[in-house]
């Protein structure tokens, strides 16, 4: 997507490039940050698989030796969220005029909350919090998903509202207003899979994280199947999230 956007940018006449360079740079920053985070995660997995020969070594490497990889991964994904969701908030700010800008209060607070939770998961403090971090991780996923959903809903609402108002004022300009319907349809089609995957991911996360006594909450089935389902859904969810953020 970034390569295609770059080619289109250079093929566009210089007088029509104004204001597009920022979004192009943001897209490449998102791609770079996500690549660094994914690479550090893969390096951590291979380190665990190749260096650990028993359970104690696995716990030691996972707790202490891979700290810098975990921190780099958290920082990278936090940058993806800050850049991507920040651009979405900025677009909402541009679309919401006058008295409508109070709608940004809730997604803005959620945006800051997610950044705070990322900073918490990225520090060594999480070694001392124990089960508290389970709730932090779950709330981080849910807040990230809800923030994206709120911002996308606001964008869709304003586009539909603007299209309705312009269609009422200019009834003969129907074909020229199709751009609003097209933009709204693209937003809905891209946000719907993310919404479904986000709900499933949150539901499995609520089930999979252990309680204080070490058991799996409310689940009597095969724990291995539950972890596999969580990994598959999470992979789809995060891939959709990054693609949507980058495409916006």
Site of tokens 């709608």: 103
Q: Choose among 26, 153, 158, 22: nearest CA to 81.
A: 26
**Separation of alpha carbons 185 and 203, rounded Å:** 27
**How do the domains of the chain map onto residue ranges?**
2-247
pLDDT tens per residue across all 248 residues of the chain: 888 888 888 888 887 878 788 888 888 898 898 889 888 888 888 887 888 788 777 777 766 666 677 788 888 888 888 888 888 888 888 877 767 788 888 888 888 888 887 777 765 444 455 556 666 777 777 887 788 788 888 888 887 777 777 777 776 666 666 776 777 777 777 777 877 888 888 788 777 765 444 454 556 677 778 788 888 888 888 787 777 666 65
Query: Under the phi-then-psi rule, with left for phi > 0, alpha for psi from -120 to 50, and beta for the rest, what region is 96?
Result: beta
Collapsing DSSP states into helix, strand and coil, what is residue 216?
strand
Tell me the Cα Rg of the chain.
21
What would the two tokens of residue 232 be? Answer: 């598959």
- pLDDT at 66 (0 to 100): 62
What DSSP character marks residue 210? B
């Amino acid at each position: 997507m970034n390569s295609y956007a770059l080619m289109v940018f250079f093929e566009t006449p210089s007088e029509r490039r104004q204001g597009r360079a920022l979004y192009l740079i943001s897209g490449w920053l998102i791609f770079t940050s996500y690549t660094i985070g994914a690479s550090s995660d893969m390096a951590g997995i291979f380190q665990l698989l190749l260096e650990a020969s028993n359970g104690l070594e696995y716990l030691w490497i996972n707790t202490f030796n891979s700290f810098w990889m975990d921190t780099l991964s958290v920082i990278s994904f936090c940058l993806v969220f800050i850049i991507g969701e920040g651009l979405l908030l900025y677009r909402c700010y541009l679309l919401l005029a006058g008295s409508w800008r109070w709608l940004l209060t809730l997604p803005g607070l959620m945006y800051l909350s997610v950044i705070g939770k990322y900073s918490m998961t990225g520090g060594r403090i999480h070694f001392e919090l124990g089960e508290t971090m389970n709730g932090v991780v779950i709330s981080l996923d849910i807040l990230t998903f809800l923030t994206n959903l709120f911002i996308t809903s606001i964008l869709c609402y304003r586009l539909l509202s603007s299209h309705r108002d312009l269609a009422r004022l200019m009834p003969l300009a129907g074909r020229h207003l199709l751009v609003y319907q097209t933009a709204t349809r693209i937003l809905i089609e891209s946000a719907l899979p993310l919404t479904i995957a986000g709900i499933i991911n949150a539901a499995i996360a609520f089930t999979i994280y252990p309680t204080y006594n070490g058991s799996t909450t409310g689940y009597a089935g095969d724990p291995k199947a539950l972890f596999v389902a969580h990994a598959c859904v999470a992979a789809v969810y995060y891939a959709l999230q990054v693609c949507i953020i980058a495409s916006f």
